[in-house]
Amino acid sequence: MKGLRPLKHTFNDHKWMWYEYERDDEEKVRELVSTDLSIGEWLENIQEREANLLDLNTETRGEEYIWGSLIYKQDIEEKGEKNIFHFYIGKDFFITVDFDFSILDVSPVGVHKQMNQADNAVEGFFILLGKVLSSYLQKIDAYEERLHDLLWEMKEQNNLQILEKIYENRHELLVWKNLVIPIVELRFIAVEAYGKGIQDQAEFHRVETRVERIRMLLSEYQQAIDTMINLEEVVSTHRGNEIMKTLTVMTILFTPVTAWGAVWGMNFKVMPELEWKFGYVFAGVLIFASTAGLYYYLKVKGWMGDILRVKKKNRFFG
């Protein structure tokens, strides 16, 4: 409905109203909330800031207000690519600025029908908040599928690119957590402003349940990613140890060649072996026997391990 604002909606036999504005409608918004002198920070945030903001006014009993700004979509790759809407909530009306239904892939008609059953504007706003959370849940389901695919990619073809994907998924998870945190805070602010009675409202309870669902899912995914990272660290450490072990064994096995070669490479005046008919054969046998002896010793000690085994598919350590 962007471009058709300002819009005024009335619900439940004119019990409460919803005003939809755009950023350029600041003067109209100011007129509507002119009685609230502390609203200046919110209005300033509409024009200048692109960050979350939550606050409330409880100076007059029965006329409590909540206002703020909420980032409800954030691009995973670009920090500046985000969508934010601003809101002002009272019992008889609430205001939104720059709220776009198309971002949530939700029909305004269905939302309005649901809002018509709400007793007041606070409950109506929580219907809107519930739609935001429903959109999150759908996108988190897609995230779960990608995480599941990554889990099997890690086993089938583990490499540096897989580790990069794991950390990309971890970053995306943090983005989702940052989107949910302000909604969690808003839930507490609503109770602070309007009392515990608001918790009995169906829409508040629905939002509360969806928040807990999202937090539970994100917590489980966090554990899965942490486990994957720990596994990658173990595999990397093991492979590093294997490389060092291989280099050590190769160094040891080539020690006889190096040692005997150094002896025969010396230019002493008296070198009787120069006259030996089978000198090369003797040297070769001696070097081979020394190397074989060292190899046998390492094998008996169990220091050779899996170094000489053929790599197998779908294995972490082989």
Instruction: Return mean pLDDT, the chain.
Output: 83
Answer whether residue 310 shows pLDDT above 50: no
Q: Which pLDDT belongs to residue 120?
A: 93
Give the least confident one: 3-17, 86-100, 139-153, 274-288: 274-288
Rounded CA separation 32/34 (Å)? 6
Answer whether residue 4 shows pLDDT above 70: no
Q: Which amino acid is at 291?
A: T
Q: Which pLDDT belongs to residue 105?
A: 84
The residue with greater pLDDT, 295 or 122, is: 122
Domain residues of the chain, as ranges? Answer: 7-232, 254-318
| Token pair in block for residue 35 | 């009685």
**Res. 62 pLDDT band, cuts 50 70 90:** confident
Nearest-5° Cα angle at 87, 16 to 91:
30
Q: Which pLDDT belongs to residue 60?
A: 83
Per-residue pLDDT, averaged over 23-28, amounts to 81
Rounded CA separation 72/183 (Å)? 10
The 10 Å CB-count burial string (b at 16+, else e) for 192-226 is ebbeeebeebebbebbbebbeebeebbeebeebbe
Please enumerate, as own/partner, the contacts of 205-211 that have beta carbons within 8 Å and a separation of 24 or more: 206/126, 206/130, 207/126, 207/129, 207/130, 207/133, 207/183, 210/130, 210/133, 210/134, 210/137, 211/133, 211/180, 211/183, 211/184, 211/187
- Rounded percentage of the chain residues whose pLDDT exceeds 90: 41
- 127 to each of 10, 113, 204, how far by Cα in Å? 15, 11, 8
Per-residue pLDDT, averaged over 3-29, amounts to 84
**Res. 50 pLDDT band, cuts 50 70 90:** confident
H helices of 93-201, in order, are 101-104, 108-115, 121-156, 160-194
The 10 Å CB-count burial string (b at 16+, else e) for 91-122 is bebbbbbbbebeebeeeeeebeebbeebebbb
Rounded CA separation 67/190 (Å)? 10
Answer whether residue 53 shows pLDDT above 90: no
What are the tens digits of pLDDT across the range 154-205?
A: 888 777 888 889 999 999 999 999 999 999 999 999 999 998 888 889 999 9
The residue with greater pLDDT, 176 or 45, is: 176
| Token pair in block for residue 99 | 């709220």
Q: Which residue has the tokens 């389901």?
A: 141
The residue with greater pLDDT, 266 or 66, is: 66
Q: 106 near 94, Cβ under 8 Å?
A: no
- 96 to each of 11, 64, 78, how far by Cα in Å? 16, 17, 25
What are the tens digits of pLDDT across the range 105-144?
A: 888 999 999 999 999 999 999 999 999 999 999 999 999 9
Strand partners, 17: 10, 93
**Res. 274 pLDDT band, cuts 50 70 90:** low
| Direct distance between the N- and C-terminal alpha carbons of the chain, in angstroms, rounded to an integer | 58
Burial class (CB in 10 A: 0-12, 13-18, 19+), 166: buried
**Res. 38 pLDDT band, cuts 50 70 90:** low
Strand partners, 53: 69
Q: 217 near 140, Cβ under 8 Å?
A: yes
Q: Which amino acid is at 96?
A: T
In a 3-state reduction of DSSP, which class is residue 190?
helix
What are the tens digits of pLDDT across the range 210-263?
A: 999 999 999 999 999 999 888 888 877 777 777 777 777 777 777 777 776 766
Q: Which pLDDT belongs to residue 308?
A: 40
